[in-house]
Amino acid sequence: MTAFEVWAPRAESVRLDLEGIAHPMTRSAEGWWRAELPAESGTRYGYLLDDDPTVLPDPRSPRQPEGVHARSAVHTVDSDRWTDAGWTGRPLAGAVYYELHVGTFTPDGTFDSAVERLDHLVDLGVTVVEVMPVNAFDGTHNWGYDGVLWYAVHEPYGGPDGLQRFVNACHARGLAVTLDVVYNHLGPSGNYLPRFGPYLTDGRNTWGQSLNLDGPDSGPVRRHIIDNALRWLRDFHIDALRLDAVHALVDRTATPLLAELATETAALAAHVRRPLTLVAESDQNDPRLLTPPAAGGYGLTGQWNDDLHHAVHTAVSGERQGYYADFGTLETLAKTLTHGFFHAGTWSSFRGRVHGRPIDRSLIPASALLAYTCTHDQIGNRAIGDRPSAYLDDGQLALKAALVLFSAFTPMLFMGEEWGARTPFLFFTSHTDPVIGAATATGRKAEFAEHGWSSDEVPDPQDPETFLRSKLDWTEPSRDGHARLLGCYRALLELRRTRPEITDPWLSRVEVDYDEDARWIAVRRGRLVLIGNLSEHSVTVGYAGAAILSWDDPERADRGTTVPGHSFTIVDTAMSGQ
């Protein structure tokens, strides 16, 4: 017998449609409806609410073989197919993340084809694969943030069985798996949750209606989110979750959803006997997310650090538009490298107000902050999806990588950056509703028109070619220029793996010196010093020692090190005179 349960507190009657035959369901006092019937794996089913003849997919559907508008399918993760019994997990500290989008990581765009490229990540020095959202969304291709059935795995990627094979393959290679999940909104097409109950509020955020986290009947909505998170961690053996845009969660309860999720995740980690990690994306620069519950915080494991991205990017590239306005100086970069956040109770000209709070460097380790030179957002939300490789030279790309990989933070790479991929990563959708598709394309063009871009320059997200252009070109890594940059990334990650000074997580031990006019910066980690030259001209910096890794071969001298323009050198000061 299979138990079918659905929360529909306002319905007068709910029937289970099982392969076209309607069966009555029994209501509980809490608004849950239940029925038990024999059903094999793959059996199609849905729900009929009151007198509406439309069969709706299960809000907790485990599988959607025909898409988000069709019936759900019975499915259980097969425990006999797991091959990772010896997997003990990986903590956040000491990790190296790699963000990828399943649909564009390989030509085929599936979990199984992604497995074929995992050895590349191992050779590179990656320890954690972060997968952009794979929950079920409308259409065939999408970034994944338009998900509407959070419990189901997007079928064209390989569905739930494909995800299981992918996790098995990662764990067999010593790679942990992080899954990007979105709980702040639902996609515009295929969202039937409001027909079942008060999942949403009248309030809106940037992407749509807000979730009902603190209003009447919000308990089951919060449970919908928490149970979904625990399903990925427990049933699919996922090691970590990246929580999308948590600043868009409107929650005025005494125990916020994030704190409740952290508590339940810790309990599950104790049961499965491996670390389970929660990493937030937040633009609030609020250390309470990372502060332990005993100290009054939420107890999340980590969060993305956009300030570090902005500080590195603007210092190297010179871009200062939009939210980059307050960044660009080496003073800004130095502060971020030593204090985590740049905006920490300081004025933000972009926001027009004071923003952020300082991090207690004795309480929160730098490893709790993820650092990166680019992400899906920082590339894909540019008008033409151009990567830094489109407007920076290879020396500048290597310098950005060195600043991140030599930092005290947990580094994260975005797919293809390690070889300076020239393929763009564009914003793409495939909404089946032509009205929604047209509105998405029009809105995208209008957004960038406000920043001076012609509508002809902004690719149509609904055009299939926009998606195809975003796929990585795996012939690039073996080409001369790309191969050299790839070798630099490998060397930097090898150095990070072998020298404990670099993974030391305490920001109070990071020392930075710089010359704003000469455009050089020196970052000291123990006896190692990274000297980065952001200018076009050679500079000599007074750190005696032997260069152990550099982009260009520097001249060496006991009194100083000469670094060519757009380059870096890492010096071991304990090897002075050698």
For residue 535, the domain's CATH number is 2.60.40.1180
Q: What is the CATH number of the domain that holds 47?
A: 2.60.40.10
Out of 189-198, 309-318, 439-448, pick the least confident. 439-448
| pLDDT at res. 20 | 96
Q: Is 558 a catalytic residue?
A: no
Q: Which residue is it, tokens 């960044």?
A: 327
CA–CA distance from 505 to each of 290, 299, 363, 511 (Å)? 14, 18, 11, 13
Listed residues 476, 496, 516: the one ending a domain: 496
Token pair belonging to 20: 């076209």
Q: Is 573 helix (H, G, I), strand (E, B) or coil?
A: helix
Is 319 in the same domain as 257? Answer: yes
Give how far the C-alpha of residue 382 lies from the chain's centroid of Cα atoms, to the nearest Å. Answer: 17
For 147, phi then psi, to 5°, come to: -65, 145
Q: What is the pLDDT of residue 576?
A: 66
314 plus 440 within the same structural domain: yes
**562 located within any domain:** yes
Residues 18 and 39 reside in one and the same domain: yes
Assess whether pLDDT exceeds 60 at residue 577.
no
The answer on 325 and 439 residing in a single domain is: yes
Structure tokens belonging to residue 469: 């252009």
3-state secondary structure 109-122: CCHHHHHCCHHHHH
Check: CB of residue 368 under 8 Å from CB of residue 302: yes
In a domain, 202, yes or no: no
The Cβ of residue 193 has, within 10 Å, a number of other Cβ atoms equal to 21
Q: Read off the pLDDT of residues 40-97 as tens digits, 9 standing for 90 and up.
A: 999 999 999 999 999 999 999 999 999 999 999 999 999 999 999 999 999 999 999 9
Say what angle helices 394-405 and 306-317 make with each other, to 10 degrees. Answer: 150
- For residues 330-338, give the mean pLDDT: 98
| Residue 112 is a catalytic residue | no
Same domain? 401 vs 519: no
Say if residue 462 is in the same domain as residue 556: no
Q: How many CB atoms lie within 10 A of CB 76?
A: 11
134: closest CA among 4, 249, 238, 280?
238
Does some domain include residue 83? Answer: no
Residue 560: pLDDT band (50, 70, 90) is low
Rounded average pLDDT over 361-366: 97
- Do 172 and 239 belong together in one domain? yes
How far is it, in rounded angstroms, from Cα 32 to Cα 9? Answer: 7
Chain segment 105-138, per-residue pLDDT in tens? 999 999 999 999 999 999 999 999 999 999 999 9
Mean pLDDT of the chain: 95
Higher-pLDDT residue of 555 and 489 is 489
Look up residue 222 and give its DSSP letter. H
- Boundary (domain end) residue, out of 496, 527, 550: 496
The whole-number pLDDT of residue 350 equals 93
**Burial tier of 239 (Cβ tally within 10 Å: 0-12, 13-18, 19+):** buried
- Of 180, 281, 306, 418, the catalytic one is 281
Q: Tell me how far the alpha carbon of residue 55 is from its chain's centroid.
A: 34
Which residue pairs, CB below 8 angstroms and at least 24 apart, start in 486-491? 486/124, 486/418, 486/419, 488/398, 488/401, 488/551, 489/124, 489/125, 489/401, 489/405, 489/413, 489/418, 489/419, 490/123, 490/124, 490/125, 490/418, 491/549
| % of the chain at pLDDT higher than 90 | 92
Treating both helix axes as pointing N-terminal to C-terminal, what angle do 306-317 and 330-339 enclose, rounded to 10 degrees?
150
Residue 86 lies in a domain: no
H helical segments located in 450-539: 464-469, 480-498, 500-503
**HSE-CB of 436 using CA atoms within 13 angstroms:** 13
- Mean pLDDT over residues 546-573, rounded? 81
Residue 274 lies in a domain: yes
How confident is the model at residue 151, as a pLDDT? Answer: 98
Assess whether 253 and 334 both reside in one domain. yes
Domain of residue 435, CATH code: 3.20.20.80
- Concatenated DSSP letters for 394-433? HHHHHHHHHHHHTSSSEEEEETTGGGT--S--------SS
- Residues 408 and 547 placed together within one structural domain of the fold: no
pLDDT at 206: 87
Give the integer Cα–Cα distance in Å for 249 and 161.
31
536: containing domain: 505-575
> Is 271 part of a structural domain of the chain?
yes
- Whether residue 530 has pLDDT greater than 60: yes
Per DSSP, helices labelled H in 183-297 are 193-196, 218-235, 257-272
Name the strand (E) or helix (H) holding 166. helix 159-172
The number of folded domains in the chain is 3
In this prediction, residues 521-531 reach a mean pLDDT of 97
* Token pair for 172: 């067999």
Burial (CB < 10 A; 0-12, 13-18, 19+), residue 170, is buried
Shared-domain flag, residues 302 and 445: yes
The values of phi and psi at residue 156, to 5°, are -60, -20
Same domain for 128 and 18, yes or no, is: no
411 bridge partner residues: 371
- Mean pLDDT computed over 212-231: 98
Among residues 99, 155, 239, 244, the one annotated as catalytic is: 244
For 528, the 3-state DSSP assignment is strand
User: For residue 557, what pLDDT is reported?
Assistant: 47
Residues 520 and 333: their CA atoms lie apart, in Å, by 11
pLDDT at 554: 52
> Which runs of E-coded beta strand occur in 40-146?
44-49, 72-73, 97-100, 128-131, 135-137
Residue type, 416: G
Question: pLDDT tens across 420-440, in order?
Answer: 999 999 999 999 999 999 999
- Judged against a pLDDT cut of 70, whether residue 173 lies above it is answered with yes
> Are 535 and 480 members of one domain?
no
- Strand-pairing partners, residue 243, are 181, 280
- Assigned domain for 225 exists: no
Q: How many CA atoms lie within 13 A of 246 on its CB side?
A: 27
Q: Percent of the chain having pLDDT more than 70?
A: 98
**Domain stop point among 496, 528, 549:** 496
**Is the pLDDT confidence value at 561 over 90?**
no
For 256-269, how does the pLDDT look when each residue is reduced to its tens digit (9 = 90+)? 999 999 999 999 99
- C-alpha distances (whole Å) from 564 to each of 256, 532, 576 are 51, 9, 20
Residue 264's SS3 state is helix
320 within some domain: yes
User: How many degrees, rounded to 5, is the angle at CA 129 between CA 128 and CA 132?
Assistant: 140
